[in-house]
Amino acid sequence: MVESSIYIFIFCFNEAILLPETIKHYKTMLPHSIITIYDNESTDNSVKIARDLGCKIISWSTNGIFNEIKKKTIFNNCWKGIKEGWVIVCDMDEWLCISEDDLQKEQSNGTTILSTCGYNITGMSKDKDLKDVNLHSLKRAYYNNYESKNLCFHLPEIKEMNYSMGSHTSKPKGIIKYSSKLYVNKHMNDLGLPFLINKMKTRFMRTRKMRKMGFNTHYTNDILEIKKKYYQNIKKSKSLRCNTKGYCYTRKAIK
């Protein structure tokens, strides 16, 4: 177990499907972590699920639409009340593969930011709610550079993260020392076609204003396009090296 605390901040809107699995992932990998859910006006039972699982809930309002600007501000400031410890700031579909022993070793090495390698995890679920698949056992994936992001860092050495729009890139300030080891960040996205179509259509509606500003343009409600990209991604996916708990690891990206 690490000597300092571990704080995880996860962003949420109507994530009743993934939320319990995401909490399970992090509580398996980091059982002593403190998890805070930043809920953006969910209308399903996400808040109840999170509260029942022992998470702290902080609500934020965007009047029924998605606001990337406000989210970026939260990403850059939600952790600033913490004096010391490891921080993970992520979306609900981002599962960083890191253990408490890993963090202890990195802390001993003087690491202040984890180097990550992002992969989109693929699955063949036929259920919109993913009830027919064990998400933690999925090993097929394809490399995603946008998910190779600075989502885990140590305080008080890091003073600012300066995440950009979308929070996939950042310009951290402070004592910067990246880990020499790459840690897998599993992006739980292409898990099944019904799930993906529902997710894309929902987010397409909520990001209309942002798309007019040139952001969130990867969301679409074109079913044929979603299907085409999904099967292309399934075809190009390869097996990751993972243990029985869903901890995946790599030495370099599979491209």
With residue 68 as reference, give the H or E element that holds it: helix 68-77
Mean pLDDT of 149-173: 96
Mean pLDDT of 232-245: 94
Q: pTM (2 decimals)?
A: 0.94
The b-or-e profile of 129-152 (16+ CB within 10 A means b, else e) is ebeebebbebbbbbbbeebbbbbb
- DSSP for 99-110 reads -HHHHHHHHHTT
CATH of 6-249, one of 3.30.980, 3.90.830, 3.90.550, 3.40.1350: 3.90.550
* pLDDT tens figures, 171-195: 999 999 999 999 999 999 999 999 9
DSSP SS3 for 39? strand
Higher model confidence: residue 151 or residue 2? 151
- The per-residue pLDDT for 4 is 54
Q: Kindly indicate the confidence band of residue 2, based on its pLDDT and cuts at 50, 70 and 90.
A: very low
- The per-residue pLDDT for 209 is 87
* Bridge partners, 163 (sequence order): 170
- The per-residue pLDDT for 251 is 62
Higher model confidence: residue 3 or residue 228? 228
- The per-residue pLDDT for 210 is 86
